[in-house]
Chains A and B, each alone.
Chain A
Amino acid sequence: MRELMQRSIFWRHFQRNRLALMGTGIVVTLFVVALLAPILSPYDPTEVDPQHILSPPDQQHRFGTDRLGRDVLSRIIWGSRISLLVGFVAVGIATFIGILLGAVAGYYGRWVDSLIMRFVDLMLCFPTFFLILAVIAFLEPSIWNIMVIIGVTGWMGVARLVRAEFLSLKEREFILSARALGASDLRIIFRHILPNSLAPVLVSATLGVAGAILTESALSFLGIGIQPPTPSWGNILTGGKDNLEIAWWLSFFPGLAILITVLGYNLLGEGMRDALDPRLRQQ
């Protein structure tokens, strides 16, 4: 009952936030586009057309074509699948590691806590982009490797968040009563504390998807991410850089797609945070 009430309070505040609704709209649209890519895209994204090389946007090719005559609009539509996949899998990995380490650190405290938190401090010392590049140098740049690397280098924030939640929740009375009833550590962690600390994790995961998409596009842009012919927004932009003087459409449209997507996830995440945080509501 109480949970239901909290949920309806959340929705009330979320619905009032126009920016958050806009973000939701963008994210939902992206899901639909990615899902219906085969229906929506006017051409095969990898189909080479020597007749129309680097042709500017017109009736036939709304967003123009690239240096192999491939339709840019179709490549952007198919590219949305890549960014969606990378965003969710990478953040899934990061969130999983972060929750696990944060929960253990926060629940057990003492030396376990100091050990894990010092490790977090250490990982934060490396410029993340450097770490990602260094690991990629040793591996093949496949989509799975990219997702795993972005995930493995991005869990520190979640770990800190979950730890803080655990530190404050574990002293509460309902945990004491669970322990008095003889619940095991595992049960207390996963059934009692974790569900109560998921809200901020969800917010940070939503913002994390935006970050992961940005990182993937930067890697693909540099040629060490998703490899052509698989279309990704980043590697279409590489073509834009190589033909900067003659084909503005190659760099303009995929970048705009990234901007709108990241904006959508950020607005959604911020909207969720505002609706969850009672302190912000009063202002």
Chain B
Amino acid sequence: MLYHIAKRILLSIPLLLGITLISFVVIHLAPGEPMSLQTDLNPRVTAASKAQLRHLYGLDEPLPVQYLKWVWRSIRLDFGRSFAPDGRKVAEKIAERIPVTIFLSVLEMLVIILIAIPIGILSATRQYSLFDKATTVFVFIGFAIPTFWLALLCMNFFGVYLGWLPISGLKSMNYPLLSLWGKFFDRLRHLILPVLVGAFGGLAGFSRYMRSTMLEVIRQDYIRTARAKGLSERSVIYKHALRNALLPVVTILGLSVPGLIGGGVIFETIFAIPGMGQLFYGSVMSRDYPVIMGILVIGAVLTLLGNLLADISYALVDPRIRLAKER
């Protein structure tokens, strides 16, 4: 078991290096230099001071040297300073945004699990029933619906037309004045739309996946054995079948990390939520290269972590892997 985990972690190190290499290539494919935004429009910048700036940023060194230096700094999470007027450290800027994004992603994942697993089980055990057909339609629409459009529709209906839910931000203007419970409910009200809309896309894919693994498991011999033993249908489905059907699902959860994080750009922008996605969008609009590169690397590392966690938890729940290497 430990061997398996250690192997997984070691295997992700070259991937990590590769991530930094691709990010580095992306910066250097860019036409123009990172600092041209600061110097090109300024008539007082002389050739000498340009060279000085190039030297300051280390742009006069050969590319491999630049890459190694950049990797060394990235490992220590030093992504330089933002080009934005505040000129703060990139790592600091990202660090204050990450918790919001991760919190939202975890909530979305919980919603997906809580809704999709029962849907998958029900439509698999009642294949071709009315419920199954209804979910199939729902799944096809879920795959096809542009989530930002769904967000707009929900904002319009629940926020503007009905006036039930706030449509932007994470807290109200009068947040500091509220009681403890008031604060809690205020947060909750702000979270409902972003989390539900964010979970919607994943919901479709996940319930369909759950349905197909469940269908596969139900056809296995050991399920027939369980039925033959005279076990109740309930314990056949929820004990014997469900446990085995949930195995591959763990992997899918890990693989859904990039989608959730990437989707964050759209939701956080629409709902004005101060997360990493919103920061990324702002940085792209103002061409704040150091922040863009920092988030690109962090996003990839989070994805890698998601995969790693999926692998490890898969090993934890699957006795075939858990016991295989313990000799």
- What B residues does A272 contact at CB under 8 A? none
CA distance A7 to B261 in the complex (A): 42
Contact of B284 among A125, A127, A134 (CB under 8 A): A134
CA distance A235 to B283 in the complex (A): 20
4 A-B pairs with the lowest CB-CB distances in the bound complex, closest first: A255-B149, A129-B262, A127-B262, A138-B30
The answer to whether B149 and A135 touch across the interface, beta carbons within 8 angstroms, is no
- What B residues does A130 contact at CB under 8 A? 261-262, 265, 280, 295-296, 299-300
CB of B155 within 8 A of chain A? yes
The answer to whether B148 and A127 touch across the interface, beta carbons within 8 angstroms, is no
Which of A121, A125, A237: most chain B CB closer than 10 A?
A125
Q: How far is the CB of A259 from chain B (nearest CB, A)?
A: 5
Select the stretch in B52-60, B138-146, B244-252 that faces chain A.
B138-146
The answer to whether B149 and A259 touch across the interface, beta carbons within 8 angstroms, is yes
Chain A residue with the shortest CB-CB distance to B159: A244
The answer to whether B18 and A118 touch across the interface, beta carbons within 8 angstroms, is yes
The answer to whether A126 and B19 touch across the interface, beta carbons within 8 angstroms, is yes
Contact of A129 among B149, B156, B265, B283 (CB under 8 A): B265
Which of B144, B266, B270, B303: most chain A CB closer than 10 A?
B144
Which of B18, B149, B269, B295: most chain A CB closer than 10 A?
B149
The answer to whether A133 and B265 touch across the interface, beta carbons within 8 angstroms, is yes
User: Known: A137-B283, A241-B270. Is A125-B149 also a contact (CB below 8 A)?
Assistant: no
- What B residues does A248 contact at CB under 8 A? 156
User: Known: A126-B303, A244-B160. Is A224-B149 also a contact (CB below 8 A)?
Assistant: no
- What A residues does B269 contact at CB under 8 A? 222
The answer to whether B303 and A218 touch across the interface, beta carbons within 8 angstroms, is no
- What A residues does B295 contact at CB under 8 A? 130
Contact of A255 among B26, B146, B266, B289 (CB under 8 A): B146
The answer to whether B144 and A129 touch across the interface, beta carbons within 8 angstroms, is no
The answer to whether B143 and A128 touch across the interface, beta carbons within 8 angstroms, is no
A interface secondary structure, majority: helix
The answer to whether A126 and B258 touch across the interface, beta carbons within 8 angstroms, is yes
CB of A221 within 8 A of chain B? yes
User: Known: A118-B18, A130-B280, A136-B284. Is A125-B304 also a contact (CB below 8 A)?
Assistant: yes
The answer to whether A218 and B18 touch across the interface, beta carbons within 8 angstroms, is no
The answer to whether B15 and A122 touch across the interface, beta carbons within 8 angstroms, is yes
CB of B162 within 8 A of chain A? no
CB of A80 within 8 A of chain B? no
CB of A263 within 8 A of chain B? yes
Interface string of B8-46 (1 = CB under 8 A from A): 000000110011001000100111000000000000000
B interface secondary structure, majority: helix
The answer to whether B22 and A134 touch across the interface, beta carbons within 8 angstroms, is no
Q: How far is the CB of A43 from chain B (nearest CB, A)?
A: 24
The answer to whether B266 and A222 touch across the interface, beta carbons within 8 angstroms, is yes
- What A residues does B143 contact at CB under 8 A? 210, 262-263, 266
CB of A198 within 8 A of chain B? no
CB of B274 within 8 A of chain A? no
Chain B residue with the shortest CB-CB distance to A247: B156
CA distance A262 to B303 in the complex (A): 27
Chain B residue with the shortest CB-CB distance to A137: B284
The answer to whether A122 and B19 touch across the interface, beta carbons within 8 angstroms, is yes
The answer to whether B289 and A133 touch across the interface, beta carbons within 8 angstroms, is no
Which of B148, B265, B280: most chain A CB closer than 10 A?
B148
Q: Considering the complex, which residues of chain B in the window 184-215 have a beta carbon less than 8 Å from any beta carbon of chain A?
A: none
- What B residues does A19 contact at CB under 8 A? 140
Chain B residue with the shortest CB-CB distance to A122: B18
User: Known: A133-B265, A137-B287, A244-B160. Is A127-B153 also a contact (CB below 8 A)?
Assistant: no
CB of B231 within 8 A of chain A? no
Chain B residue with the shortest CB-CB distance to A126: B300
CB of B47 within 8 A of chain A? no
Q: How far is the CB of B161 from chain A (nearest CB, A)?
A: 9
Interface string of B288-309 (1 = CB under 8 A from A): 0100110110011001100100
CA distance A224 to B26 in the complex (A): 18
Q: Considering the complex, which residues of chain A in the window 110-148 have a beta carbon less than 8 Å from any beta carbon of chain B?
A: 118-119, 121-131, 133-139
The answer to whether B141 and A259 touch across the interface, beta carbons within 8 angstroms, is yes
Contact of A251 among B15, B156, B300 (CB under 8 A): B156
- What A residues does B265 contact at CB under 8 A? 129-130, 133, 222
